[in-house]
């Protein structure tokens, strides 16, 4: 009985969080300044990337400048939400934000746990990545200049996706990624880069019961009690710390996080692992900021995040002239 009550409380808590964030994104999108046309951006919604599927997790939105004189670099954006909630629709701000700066943005849905536990979401994103690589040209995007970006769970997923595009993996869906164009950069923000051993955060500093419960539930819903070998790409941080066998070089990384984010340590460990592997990377830490602060675009530190991110992207693109 107590276990059932506890499970119900966890479900209600997550539902309340999801409803709040969904409403915030919905009403934020109604503000006149959020209209894409005011920024010279057009949006092509619900493009199906999984052939023959009618499932909502197999669609993406394309944000692009309405006026285009040449092929533009591509941002493949993966939303967060603890692998369990939210969607491309709650993360429209990133599609708009990058598109108004001259990028073609593919803002992607994927299967969510617990209905679709690991590796379902990552398999979906692998299919979406291959679809974008094959179809970017017809939307005005240059598939040879693709940047992966995502926050929170999305940061984990784009990091794993980058590994799958660089390593010879045993999974059939991952092997196919080696035939696609490699991304030129990866931008994981406030990432949960190891889903297993969620108790590690509480061992270093005291966390609220709510945060501890949510981290535990993420691990339970996404990977369950499976052994690490079965869920290796759910823990890309461990794979990088161990040293992956690369078939081609890893792309440049930009890692960002607020210093009050309860999962801050994963970004620090990611930067250290990339340094040891001699992978070009940068890490920015934003004093006093919490989880996913960059979505609150009117705040000073969020503006700083956008400045750092766009500057990084420009520098990466300077090193990768168009090959399309």
Question: How long is the chain?
Answer: 324
Give the residue numbers annotated as catalytic, written as ranges: 152
C-alpha to C-alpha distance for 6 and 268, rounded to whole angstroms: 33
Give the C-alpha distances (Å, rounded to integers) separating 223 from 50, 103, 160, 173, 255: 24, 34, 15, 18, 24
Using the structure block, give the residue that is written with the tokens 């880069």. Answer: 193
By DSSP bridging, strand 59-65 and strand 41-48 are antiparallel
* CB-based contact 223:117 (threshold 8 Å): yes
Please give the structure tokens belonging to residue 248: 């081609």
Give me 4's structure tokens: 């059932």
Say how far apart CA 79 and CA 76 lie, in whole Å.
Answer: 10
Whether 194 contacts 238, CB under 8 Å? yes
Q: Using CA atoms, how far apart are residues 15 and 228, in angstroms rounded to an integer?
A: 29
């Amino acid at each position: 009985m107590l276990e059932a009550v506890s499970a119900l409380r966890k479900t209600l808590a997550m539902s309340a969080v999801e409803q709040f964030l969904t409403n915030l994104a919905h009403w934020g999108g109604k503000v006149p300044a959020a209209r894409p046309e005011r920024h010279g951006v057009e949006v092509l919604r619900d493009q199906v990337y999984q052939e023959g599927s009618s499932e909502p997790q197999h669609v993406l939105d394309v944000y692009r400048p309405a006026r285009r004189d040449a092929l533009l670099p591509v941002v493949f954006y993966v939303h967060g939400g603890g692998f369990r909630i939210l969607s491309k629709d709650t993360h429209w701000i990133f599609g708009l934000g990058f598109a108004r700066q001259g990028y073609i943005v593919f803002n992607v849905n994927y299967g969510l746990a617990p209905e679709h536990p690991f590796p379902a979401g990552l398999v979906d994103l692998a299919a979406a990545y291959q679809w974008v690589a094959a179809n970017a040209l017809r939307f005005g995007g240059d598939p040879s200049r693709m940047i992966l970006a995502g926050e929170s769970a999305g940061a984990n997923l784009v990091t794993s996706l980058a590994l799958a595009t660089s390593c010879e993996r045993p999974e059939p869906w991952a092997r196919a990624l080696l035939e696609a164009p490699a991304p030129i950069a990866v931008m994981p923000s406030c990432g949960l880069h190891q889903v297993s051993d969620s108790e590690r955060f509480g061992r270093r500093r005291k966390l609220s019961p709510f945060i501890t419960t949510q981290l535990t539930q993420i691990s339970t819903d996404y990977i369950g009690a499976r052994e690490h070998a079965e869920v290796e790409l759910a823990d890309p941080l461990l794979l990088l710390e161990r040293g992956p066998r690369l078939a081609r070089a890893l792309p440049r990384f930009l890692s960002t996080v607020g210093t009050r984010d309860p999962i801050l340590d994963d970004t620090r460990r990611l930067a250290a692992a990339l340094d040891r592997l001699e992978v070009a990377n940068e890490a920015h830490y934003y004093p006093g900021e919490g989880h996913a602060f960059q979505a609150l675009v009117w705040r000073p530190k969020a503006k700083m995040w956008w400045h750092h991110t766009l500057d990084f992207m420009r520098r990466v693109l300077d090193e990768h002239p168009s090959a399309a």
